[in-house]
Structure 1
Amino acid sequence: MGTTRMVYIVTMLFSLIVLILSSSTVGYDYFQFTQQYQPAACNSNPTPCKDPPDKLFTVHGLWPSNMNRSELFNCSSSNVTYAKIQNIRTQLEMIWPNVFNRKNHLGFWNREWNKHGACGYPTIRNDLHYFQTVIKMYITQKQNVSDILSKAKIEPDGNIRTQKEIVDAIRKGIHGKEPNLKCQKNTQMTELVEVTLCSDGNLKQFIDCPHHFPNGSRHNCPTNHILY
């Protein structure tokens, strides 16, 4: 075998090893930071919420995701305890409540960590860092959708909005990038249920959310007549 061919084979093998190692440790392209509007989330849930919802967007989850739509799920089976998050528990209960059952916040947080958060390594180092990161994004970095809409004079007053109004308001709060909206029709009215903000794989800057609900999807938001 000639020297040139040997060098070529070694180079290809090295590239393949690097690709395998990088894909096993990263495995995602960007993050979705999804927040749910509590009243609409309760209206969309088959089981009624156990407690009255607040007129707020609160955290649903921070999800590492792929551009090709392949999903990352269930990367851990560890249990987060109240003892481990005692210093941030109050903040989490405020910004990341279990809207459907406020007596089981911890169960909700554990599901989000094990199903999604643990898949975000190395940007997300561990479970505590996952929750600290979400607090930072929602509070310190002002990625609170309720506040973003409020600054654009869009309040949760039960008025009818257009998709453009909502999207333009959110774009102003996230450096002109495109969010993703989730709606659902309830009792003949389409409600804004969730808003997703997207960031790069290092959580350093906003990006346009690459995927939206297609036309015909029950979660696609109409051009007009969105209740918020």
Structure 2
Amino acid sequence: MKKLVTFFLLVILLLEITISVDSQKLTLLKFVLQWPPTYCIGLNSAAPPGRCKEPILQHKLTLHGVWPADQRGNSLTCPEPPDPNWNQVFTAAVENQLMAFWPPLRENSQKRDLWKHEWRAHGACGGTTPQVYFNTAIKINNMLQKGNLFNYLKTSGIIACNSLSFAKKDIVDAIRKVFVQLLDVYLTCIPIDATNKTHVYLSEVTLCTNLVGTSFISCPIQATPTSCSSGARIMLPHPKPQCHDPKMDVTIAAFTTTEIPRRNKSRWDIS
């Protein structure tokens, strides 16, 4: 009996190990796009605060990164690789293409800094070379036939405006016009402040592709972000120039809205 129990325990252990290994297998790529004004709100609200490049982009989503993921949609992690010869990776032709949809948003950030960071943190986990990684990003972006994901939102009446908000379903349906068939995507949002439960800011949109970036696939349901609750109204904030408060020696973003009710001031306050 003891031998039988031991046998079944070993079988269970092997199954658990197999499931754990399988869950970490590279299965898909996440093409993570960000809404620049929302990124800038978070950056200016950080401690210490940072600044975005001006003028703040308000007419398109830009790429955050391409993240290799497992079958559940969880991004893979791996040790940081040694740096390649970046001058060989970033030829003039590659740089020009990347800058069109993957520009740095932070002030004083060099254009290569973001790309190098994304390769070290994510790209190296995909088992490819830096050249393949960045060319894959270009290839996926070229599959957006309207040139930029924001153009798909606009054709459905979803625009950047501080007095308009939209249902999550409407935004998802507009994004799905990218695809030939119905596919699942991820939306990520940030709160406007700790007290506002009715409105959030759109932060990121994630599209998923096969491993070589040649076709879109559904993002796995298991890793669906929950920060954009189905009941909350989603806004795409509209940027205004940043201003500096010498008394507090901090940089803030000047945003306004006519739709959000007035509330107590907080670091997320836009009123």
Shorter-chain TM range is 0.7 to 0.9
Q: Is the 8 A contact 1:75 1:118 kept in 2?
A: yes
Match of 1:9 in 2: none
- Residue 226 of structure 1 aligns to a residue whose secondary structure is strand
Match of 1:13 in 2: none
How far residue 75 of structure 1 moved from its aligned partner, in angstroms, is 5.2
CA distance in 2, matches of 1:199, 1:44: 28
CA distance in 2, matches of 1:173, 1:200: 15
Change (3 A) 1:144 1:74: farther
How far residue 222 of structure 1 moved from its aligned partner, in angstroms, is 4.1
How far residue 100 of structure 1 moved from its aligned partner, in angstroms, is 1.8
Query: Which structure 2 residues correspond to residues 36-185 of structure 1 after superposition, within 5 A?
Result: 36-45=34-43, 46=46, 47-52=49-54, 53-55=56-58, 56-68=60-72, 69=74, 71-74=76-79, 76-79=81-84, 81-82=86-87, 84-85=89-90, 86-101=92-107, 103-121=109-127, 125-142=128-145, 144-158=148-162, 159-174=164-179, 175-185=181-191
How far residue 35 of structure 1 moved from its aligned partner, in angstroms, is 0.3
- Residue 89 of structure 2 aligns to a residue whose secondary structure is coil
1:104-145 CA distance string (max 9 Å, x none): 221111011121112223xxx421222122122213543732
CA distance in 2, matches of 1:198, 1:113: 18
- Residue 115 of structure 2 aligns to a residue whose secondary structure is helix
CA distance in 1, matches of 2:25, 2:107: 32
**How does the TM-score come out when normalised to structure 2?**
0.65
- Which structure 1 residue ranges, 5 or more long, are not aligned? 1-18
CA distance in 2, matches of 1:140, 1:168: 18
Match of 2:266 in 1: none
Q: Is the 8 A contact 2:76 2:125 kept in 1?
A: no
Q: Is the 8 A contact 2:76 2:122 kept in 1?
A: no
Q: Is the 8 A contact 1:72 1:116 kept in 2?
A: yes
Match of 1:34 among 16, 32, 35: 32
Match of 2:213 among 197, 200, 203: 203
Change (3 A) 1:41 1:50: closer
- Residue 137 of structure 2 aligns to a residue whose secondary structure is helix
CA distance in 1, matches of 2:75, 2:233: 32
Q: Is the 8 A contact 1:37 1:57 kept in 2?
A: yes
Alignment-mate amino acid for residue 33 of structure 1:
F
Q: Is the 8 A contact 1:82 1:89 kept in 2?
A: no
Change (3 A) 1:80 1:42: farther
Change (3 A) 1:107 1:223: same
Taking only the aligned residue pairs, the percentage that are identical comes to: 26
RMSD over aligned CA atoms reads 2.6
CA distance in 2, matches of 1:73, 1:221: 31
How far residue 40 of structure 1 moved from its aligned partner, in angstroms, is 0.5
Match of 1:212 in 2: 224
Match of 1:16 in 2: none
- Residue 86 of structure 2 aligns to a residue whose secondary structure is coil
